[in-house]
Structure formats: structure tokens, C-alpha cells
Amino acid sequence: MPSMTDEPLHGVLPVLHTPFHEDHTIDFETLQREIDWAFETGADGLVVAMVSEILRLTAEERKELATFVCQSAKGRGYSVISVGAETTLEAIQYARHAEQAGASALMAIPPVATSLGSNATYEYFASIAKNVSIPLVVQDASGYVGSAIDLGVYRKLLEEFGAERIFFKPEASPLGPNLSLLRDSIKEPIRVFEGSGGLNLVDCYRRGIVGTMPGTDLLDAIVALWSALKTGDDDRIYELSFSICGIVVLQLQAGLDGFLAIEKHLLKKRGIFLNTLQRQPVSWEIDSETVEEVDRLFARLQHLLGNSAACK
């Protein structure tokens, strides 16, 4: 648990999944259960981002969700709110609202409907940063949406705002080499976060990340893996990592909707979610054979953690 001081953002920061009622309104009671479980499991904070289905929420819902999460995290850990939008004006509005709600940091992806050049991408992120006083995590989500962010954009943002205000979450493939390229091209220390669901966590940790932003579904395993990485227990590291990767590979094959479907399935399996509803439309729905394979892998992972209760 981080102390509520000026200590920079770090550690295991799970991205929350948004539960829905049958009428597709946000189920805040279930969300509170997810948040409480995350902190009980060892999360250092909470994140609202892509697998929170923010691109499928209304503007009002996004702000309501941000306020709820920031209030729930207060006194327990960090809160990071994704404010990326299709227009700079919208992103600034979300950013100001998140800061007022008490967010520890913001995160943003570039617009996904418009292909921007380096200058326009820089101006977009710089405009967000200029309108708030809290850190901004610059997210390259091009592994499943949008385009990769040019390295020059990262450098220019650091030059203008400094390493205390600009953090990074690179996701363009190949993730590890790109992370090292970013790290080695910038003279001053930078704060970089991993966001592959755990698939590249071991490799990225060895390249100098300060935190990870996985889904909530495998949080207990990610917390255990993060602990093993910090102590250098290679046997435990690879034992956990191989099992985590088996599940994440199945999620990755269907992009963002693959992560959503499987992660919500596992949250329901844990007894945290009441259903697996996603905002429609979606590009992929989980089939019975995928469910069976996920369940087999999940049972093995829980056995490694000594948690047979979650395998029911």
C-alpha cells in the first residue's frame, strides 16, 4: 500500500472492469465489490482505462465512474483516470474533472478515429498536461487501437513538462525493445508502466518499469508475480508467468473484446461480478471451448497460489 504522500505513481495498478445491470446501466454496487477486492488483494491503486469500456460509456457516465473510483480509492491507494478522447476539448474536460475528483494521475491515448502526425499528437498531449497539475501517463495503445506514438513526441513532452509530470505506458509491438529504445534515448530517469495484461511483465520489469497495469481478473497472480520479481525469485517468477501468459494469450487473440469477455468471465467465476455483460456492439463473443480452456488454465494458476476457492 503506498503512503498518501508525494511518492510517485508505482506498483500494481489494476484496470477496473465496469459491471453492468441487465438494463446496461453501471452496477456501482458490484464495482465497489471489485474495488474492495482489489485493495484486499494487494493493489497499490486503481485505474479506469480501455478495459473499463470507457470508449463505450457516455460522457456523463465516464465522469460518474471517475468520481466513484477516486472517492473509493481515497486513503487506500492511487487513482488513475483515462481521459483520452476524439477531440482535445473533450480530453481537457475529462482531465479537469478527474483532477477535481481527486485523481492521483491521468492517462490518455491519442484519438483513435483520426490518424495524427507527430506534431498534432504532441499538441494533443501537451494541451491535456497544460490544463492540469497532476501527472499524465502517455499511453500508446496501438497494440489494439490507434497508431504507434513517435519517440520524438515522448522526448518533446518530457522537455516541456519534466519527468515528474509525464509518465509512459508504451504498448506498441515489439513491446520490450520499444521500451528499451524509449529508456535509452532519454538521458534522465523516466517512469514507465507495463500494460500487456502480464504477458510481457517479466521482460518489461527487467527493462526498468516502475509499475504494471493489468486487468483485475488475474490480480492475485500479478501481485504475487510482482513480489517475486522484486525479490528475484526466478523459480516463482517463471512458474507464475507461464500460467498467466497462457490465459492472456487467449485474451489477446480477439483484441480488446477478447480481454473484456475473458476477464469478465473470470470475475464472475470469482464471485465478484454477477454477469459478464459488455456494452454493445462487440466484435467477438467467447465460445464454450475457449471457456473450458480458460477455466483449466485458471484452475492451475489458482492452485499455484494456494487458492482453490476461486476455482469453483
Residue type, 8: P
Instruction: Give me the pLDDT at residue 145, please.
Output: 65
Question: What confidence tier does 188 reach under pLDDT thresholds 50, 70, 90?
Answer: confident
pLDDT per residue over 41-73, tens digit each? 999 999 999 999 999 999 999 999 999 999 999
CATH architecture of 11-231: Alpha-Beta Barrel (3.20)
* pLDDT of 152 strictly over 80: yes
Q: Of 107, 121, 125, which is closest to residue 51 (Cα–Cα)?
A: 107
* pLDDT of 309 strictly over 60: no
- Whether residue 124 contacts residue 91, with contact meaning beta carbons closer than 8 Å, is answered with yes
What is the residue extent of each domain of the chain? 11-231
Among all chains, which residue has been given the C-alpha cell 493493489?
43
pLDDT per residue over 160-175, tens digit each? 999 999 999 988 888 8
Task: List Cα–Cα distances, 142 to 196, 219, 220, 275, 287, in angstroms.
Answer: 12, 23, 27, 29, 26
* pLDDT of 144 strictly over 90: no
